[in-house]
Structure 1
Amino acid sequence: MKVRVGLVQLRSDRDVERNLATCRKLAADAASDGAGWILFPENAPFLGADKDKVPIAESLDGPLVGEFASIAKKHGVWVSVAGLPEKCDADPNKTYNTQVLIDPQGVTQAVYRKIHLFDAQVDDHIKYKESDSVAPGDELVTHVMDINGVKLKVGLSICYDLRFPELYRRLRAEGVDVVTVPSAFTLQTGRDHWHPLLRARAIENQVYVLAPDQYGLHFGTRSSYGHTCVYDPWGHMQACAPDRECVVTADVDLGYLASVRQRMPVESHRRL
């Protein structure tokens, strides 16, 4: 049993209409290649400074989610998109960094709010402090998707979560087949850490890892690494995007997944 997935790589900026137009175009490309699930990177509709998201934050029934619901309905596919600036009722000076999973009827089926916030100095000149304007989530989120008759259990994560293996261990314990890692991974960290971390999460948890990423220069010194990719549960790279806005497709093969887990039943060997 296989499901074709399409991962979109973007170079988003502050121009929401341009970003959404590119999302629509690349979604059509993915659907024409047979994707039953299209995944967009973190900050797909808007990539500016984190504080710039506060004035445009909206609820989950707002127009930004509606745009991606329209894509799902138009092509009859599942859609996931992250980095949506969701209003935070507890603190109007902050947003959530939210991933939504939308079914082919355009209905939101799962909502994940990024747990781990990116507060780091990536080199001598560039510092990020996501927590200044983003509130952390606190819930693990999984969902069973039915994609053209194939049942797929997915666990949701976003970007900086990738550095916290305990999150993925808990998702694996929940029985997920696939994890999503939509990202805007910085150029400085991505060059050294992107592929090793993605591959490790795939191997240690025996899951497919789907990682749509931003790429290129967005504004000022803010650049993303790109290399949108898919890793299988043995740690093989199934697809990787070139340095441009594009879509890559790959197959999630549940038969192969079961074979890997049967040959090396790591989960049943856990003692801690």
Structure 2
Amino acid sequence: MSADQFIVGCVQLCPGEDRDANLARVVDGVRSAKDQGAALVALPEYATFLHASGAAMRANADEEASDPSLPKLQKLAIDQKVWLLVGSLALNGPEGRLVNRSYLLSPSGDVVASYDKIHMFDATLKNGRVIRESSAYAPGGRAVVARTPWACIGMSVCYDARFPQLYRALAQGGAEVLAVPAAFTRQTGTLHWKALLQARAIENGAFIIAPATCGEHPGGHQTYGHAMIIDPNGQILAEAGEASEVICAPIDLGQVALARSRIPSLSHDRIFELAHAG
């Protein structure tokens, strides 16, 4: 492959409350992606621990310096000689709340970048279940573009997908690949997941890599799965189902340049006023 081409892998998992078991599945998934030629492997949100209860998430969270998962994931990146996108870890944050933090690790195990999820999922599902992420998590306030040997990656997490202005800023800041690791609920996933990801790809002329959790999780939580890799024209290159799976696809950054040259909308933003009439 040329210098602007590489293979990306997305690992789809069904994490629960057994951290060691979750990490073992992560290792298997990363090894599978590496065996398929992936140079960059992406894990979903909450890959190492997931419970529907905010209290359970808090009880199992640590400070970043003492989190048991991150060193093991760093060693995994070293052992497999891959760039590893850690979808997110729930860590102790400010004022008694958690942060939902994503990491990009180099093949030497270094933390190249970290990103705290900005947008909090406060919603009422159609079955009446109320989710108030903001009650347990402190939102981040910084968008992040991280450089790899092939591409600049814009970092995001799950609910961020509903906020196009974030991805616009990432793309205008140089991101050619947009990462959307997620634990999308099954109810919202069936309605919006695919459309949101394709829209973010098309709007920004960027590749989307979206590893996902799937299945049933402790506390009655259900996530949608359907991890996806999407090209800058919104075409799905690879899609998982609703069970644990590893998907891979080639990334050709020439497609980003071509899409953006044909429709250079990233340079066409206009300042405007909002008027109310009638």
Q: One fold, TM greater than 0.5?
A: yes
How far 1:27 sits from its partner (Å)? 0.7
Q: Given residue 58 of structure 2, which amino acid in structure 1 is its aligned partner?
A: V
Aligned counterparts, 1:147-166, within 5 A: 151-166=150-165
Deviation at 1:259, TM superposition (A): 1.3
Which residue of 2 is the match for residue 208 of structure 1?
207
Asked if 1:175 corresponds to 2:178, the answer is no
The aligned runs of 1:42-57 (5 Å cut-off) are 42-48=45-51, 49-57=53-61
Q: How does 1:4-83 map to 2 (within 5 A)?
A: 4-48=7-51, 49-61=53-65, 62-83=67-88
Tell me, in whole angstroms, the C-alpha distance in 1 between the residues paired with 2:126 and 2:262. 42
Q: Deviations over 1:139-177 (max 9, x none)?
A: 11111111xxxx310110000001111111111110110
In the TM superposition, what whole-angstrom CA distance separates every residue of 1:203-235 from its partner, at most 9, and x where no partner exists? Answer: 011111111011111134310011000111101
- Superimposed CA distance per residue, residues 67-125 of structure 1 (whole angstroms, 9 cap, x where no aligned partner): 1111100011010113301221x32x311000011000001110100010111111233
Q: Which amino acid aligns with 1:230?
A: I
Indicate the residue corresponding to 2:275 in structure 1: none
* CA displacement at 1:52 relative to structure 2: 1.5
Residue 249 of structure 1 aligns to a residue whose secondary structure is strand
Deviation larger for 95-104 or 219-228: 219-228
* Distance in 1 between residues matched to 2:153 and 2:117, nearest whole Å: 16
1:30 aligned partner, one-letter code: A
The residue that corresponds to 2:122 in the other structure is 119
Q: What are structure 2's unaligned runs of at least 5 residues? A: 272-278
Give, in whole Å, the separation in 1 of the partners of 2:60 and 2:222.
22
Shift of 1:11: 0.7
Distance 2:126 2:146 in 1: 37
Distance apart, 1:129 and its partner CA: 0.9
What is the alpha-carbon distance in structure 2 between the residues aligned to residue 26 and residue 238 of structure 1? 19
Which residue identity is paired with 1:179? Answer: L
Percent of residue pairs identical: 37
Whether the 8 Å contact between 2:178 and 2:208 is mirrored in structure 1 is: yes
> Residues of 1 paired with 2:127 and 2:9: CA distance?
36
Give the Cα–Cα distance (whole angstroms) in 2 for the partners of residues 231 and 131 of structure 1.
Answer: 30
Secondary structure of the structure 2 residue equivalent to 1:134: coil
CA distance in 2, matches of 1:164, 1:233: 18
Could you say what secondary structure the match of 1:135 adopts?
A: coil
1:224-263 superposed matches below 5 A: 224-263=223-262
**Worse overlay, 121-130 or 169-178:** 121-130
**Mapped contact 1:50–1:134 kept (Cα < 8 A):** no
2:145/2:174 contact within 8 Å kept: no
Q: Which has the higher strand share?
A: 1
Residue range with higher mean Cα deviation, 121-130 or 233-242: 121-130
How many Å separate the matches in 2 of 1:166 and 1:257?
Answer: 19
For these two proteins, the number of residue pairs brought into alignment is: 266
The alpha-carbon distance between structure 1 residues 50 and 251, as it changes in their structure 2 partners (threshold 3 A), is: farther
RMSD over aligned Cα, in angstroms? 1.2
After TM superposition, the score normalised by the length of structure 2 is 0.93
Structure 1 length normalisation: TM-score?
Answer: 0.95
